[in-house]
Structure 1
Amino acid sequence: MADVIDQIFETWESLLDEPGTGSQSARYRISGSPRFGAYLAIRFDDRAPVLEFGPITPDLLKDAPLPSIKGVDSGLSYHSQELFLSLTLKQPASIDIFLTLAARLTDELSGVDYPITGYNVIRKVLIVWRAFFSSEKKILSGSEQTGLAGELILATMFMDNGIEVAAVIRAWKGSERSHHDFQLPLASVEVKATVAHNIETVSISSLRQLDPTGTKKLFLAQVAMDSHDYGDQTLPRLIENIRQRLSSFPADRLEFEEKLLASGYRDKDESHYAQQSFQIRKVRAFRVDENFPKLTHDSIPEGIVEATYQINLGTVALQALTFDDLMLAVSSSQND
C-alpha cells in the first residue's frame, strides 16, 4: 500500500492535469465516510489548492472557531446544496507543507462518521500545525545542516544494527526541541554532530540537555564527520534512504515528514543541500552518569535558571564507548 503522503501528492498532480477554467474547480475525495468526507481540490482561476470537509452545519464554527493560520484562508463552500468547510492555501511556496497537512488530516479522518467528530479532529490538528506555516525561516544554516545530518546518520546506524525502522522514527525527537534527540524505550541519546577537526569540545545548550531525570539511561553520542563537495551522504540522499526504508510503515513515514518540516528541512530547497556530503569520521558515546561532567538544575547554585557551557571530552576519554557498545547499552536493560 502506498504511503498516504505519496497518495496525496499524486492526487494533487492529477488535479493539476484536470481541465477547467475561470471560477471552476475540481476535487477528489481523500478520506472520511459516507456521512463526512475530506476532499483535495483545485481552483482553476488561481491554481490554489483547497481542502474541503463536510457536509457540516454552521453552528460548529460558532461554538469552536478554527485557529488562524498564516497563509491559509478558511471559509465555507456549497456543493449540491450542502455546506462544506474549506481551507485555501494563499502562499504557493508552502504547497509542500499544505499537502503534508492534507496527508495528516487524511490519516486522522479515516473512518470518521459524523461532522462534529470530524470538525473536532480538524481543529485539533490545525492547532498543532499553525507553527509549520508561521515560520519565516528559509534554508538551514551550516550548523543546522550538520546537526540534522548527524541525527539522520545515527538514526540510519540504529536501523542498520537491529532497531526497527519505525521505532527509530518514533524515538527521534530532535526536531521537537525535546531535551534529548532520541528517546528509545531503554535509553535516551543526545547527539552532538561536528565537522570540526577538534572533536574534544562539545557545546551544551541548556541545563536540561544532559539531565538524566526521567530516563532509564542517558548517553551523549558524538558523530564526527568530514564535509566534502558532492558525495553520497548529502542531506537529500540521507532523507531519501530513510523514506525508502519507511515504505512499509505509512504512519511512521508521515511522522518522519512532519519531523523534517519541524526541523526546517524542505524538499523545495534540495538544491541548496545537494553539494555538501557528510562522511563519518568517528562515532563515540559517553554514559551521562555521576562521573560525567555536566550542569543540571540540581547541581547549580540557587538563582541560576539557565546556562550554556562547553565540555572537554578529553577529560573523560577513557569512558568513551564505541558505537557497538552504545548499541548494546540502548538495547539491553541489563547493562547498568
Structure 2
Amino acid sequence: MKKILKTMEMMKTENIWMSLESDTSSHTGLLYKRYDAKVIPDVFIAIKAPEKLRCIAFRISVSFSFDENQWNKLKDIKVETMPDERDKSKKFLLILLLNKQHKDIFSTLCEDLIFGVSEVASEKSLVEKLFERLAKWQSLFEKVGNQGLSDEAQRGLYGEVFFLREFLENSSDKNYCLKSWLGPERSIQDFQYSNWAVEVKTTHGNNHQKIHITSERQLDDSIIEKIFLYHLSLDVRIGNGESLNSLIDNVLESLSNSTMAGNLFQFKLLESGYYEVHRQLYEEYGYTIRQENLYKVAGNFPRITESQIPIGVGDVKYSIVLSESEEWRISQDTLFCEINPK
C-alpha cells in the first residue's frame, strides 16, 4: 500500500536529504545541494553537521538583515543564519527541523515552500514569503500530537476527497482541480474557483437525506455566481468498503505524474489534519456509497441567504431535507461542464 506524503517513489527533497545523510565522512557546518537551477532564488536542501539536522537553506547577501530571534519560539523549527564559506559576501538563511518525528511533513512543506518562492527575485520578498509560511507550518506541527480525526471529520474528508477524485477524472487540468479545493482552509464552500463553488455534504445513518448548513452565506448565489451542492450518502462498515486511506492512496496514484498537483494535494491533507502517524486509525472503517446527488442552487432552492436575515441576527444554521429538492438535481456531465475552465 502506498504511503501518504509520497507523490512518486520519493520526493526530490527526500532523495537529496538521504544522499547527504549517507555521507559518512566527518563534517562540521553545512552539507548542501542546489535544489533546482530553474528556481530563481538560491535554494539548497541541506544537513547541518554534526547534529545531522535536516534543513532548507536560502543564500542571501550578508548585508541583508532581519530579526531571526522573533521566529525562534516556534515548536520543532529553528531559524538561523550561517556564513557562506565559499563566498564572504553571502550567508545562508536556514530553516531547520529539530524534531525528526516530523520529517515527512517537513519534506512536503519544503516542496510547497520552494514552489511558492520559485519566481521571487528580491531578497526582501523572499524573506517575507518564507516567514509568512512559518505560521502555517507551526499550526500543522502542533496538530500532529492530537489523536487523529474524529469520526465526523473522517467522513467529511472522505466526501471532499471523493468529489476531488471525480473532478480529477473529469478534468484535463489537475492543478486547477487542486487549487479549487478550499475545504482544508475552512472556506465558506469546499471547492471554489473564479465564479463557481461546490459545497460537499456527507451524511450517513438514518438521516442520510438531511444535510446541515452552517452559514447563511454557504448557499447564497448573490455572493458567487454559480453554486452547486454535492451530497454523498454513506454506509459505514468495519472491514468493508473503501477506507479513507485507500481513497487517498488512489488519488495520490492518479497524481503520480504531476509533481506540483501531488505536492499540493499532500499539503492540503496536512491542513485537513490527515497525518501519516495516524494512518492506522483509519484502516478499520470502510465506506460504501448509498446515494450520490448533485444540485444546482438557484431560484427557489430551499435555503436561507444573507439578505433574508434580519439585522442583529447571526450565526445562522439550518437543515435541508433533500427529498424536497428534486427539481434542482443535475447530472455530473452538467456540473463538470459548468466548473471546468472553458
Range class of TM-score, shorter chain: 0.7 to 0.9
Q: Is the 8 A contact 2:117 2:126 kept in 1?
A: yes
Normalised to the residue count of structure 2, the TM-score between the two structures is: 0.83
Paired residue for 2:321?
Answer: 312
* Mapped pair 1:19 → 2:24: yes
Q: Is the 8 A contact 2:60 2:92 kept in 1?
A: yes
Flag the 1:22–1:230 CA change in 2: closer, same or farther, 3 A.
farther
Paired residue for 1:179?
Answer: 188
* Mapped pair 1:214 → 2:223: yes
Counterpart CA distance in 1 for 2:279 and 2:60 is 39
Deviation at 1:291, TM superposition (A): 1.5
- Amino acid aligned to 1:52: A
* Mapped pair 1:52 → 2:60: no
Q: Is the 8 A contact 1:180 1:209 kept in 2?
A: yes
Deviation at 1:267, TM superposition (A): 2.4
Counterpart CA distance in 2 for 1:220 and 1:169 is 18
* Mapped pair 1:118 → 2:126: yes
Deviation at 1:331, TM superposition (A): 5.6
Deviation at 1:101, TM superposition (A): 2.1
Q: Is the 8 A contact 2:216 2:304 kept in 1?
A: yes
Matched residue SS, 1:293: coil
Instruction: Give runs of aligned pairs for residues 51-90 of structure 1, distance below 5 A.
Output: 51-57=56-62, 59-62=64-67, 69-80=74-85, 81=88, 82-90=90-98
Q: Deviations over 1:80-129 (max 9, x none)?
A: 15522112222333222222221123223436566445334423433554
Deviation at 1:142, TM superposition (A): 0.9
Instruction: Give runs of aligned pairs for residues 130-209 of structure 1, distance below 5 A.
Output: 130-135=138-143, 137-162=146-171, 164-184=173-193, 187-209=196-218
- Consecutive unaligned residues in structure 2, runs of 5 or more: 1-6
Aligned residues: 332
Matched residue SS, 1:252: helix
- Amino acid aligned to 2:82: S
Normalised to the residue count of structure 1, the TM-score between the two structures is: 0.84
* Mapped pair 1:280 → 2:289: yes
Flag the 1:117–1:164 CA change in 2: closer, same or farther, 3 A.
closer
- Amino acid aligned to 2:151: G
Flag the 1:274–1:9 CA change in 2: closer, same or farther, 3 A.
farther
Matched residue SS, 1:18: coil
Q: Is the 8 A contact 1:60 1:116 kept in 2?
A: no
- Consecutive unaligned residues in structure 1, runs of 5 or more: none
Q: Give the aligned CA root-mean-square deviation in angstroms.
A: 3.3
* Mapped pair 1:37 → 2:42: yes
* Mapped pair 1:291 → 2:296: no
Flag the 1:10–1:284 CA change in 2: closer, same or farther, 3 A.
same
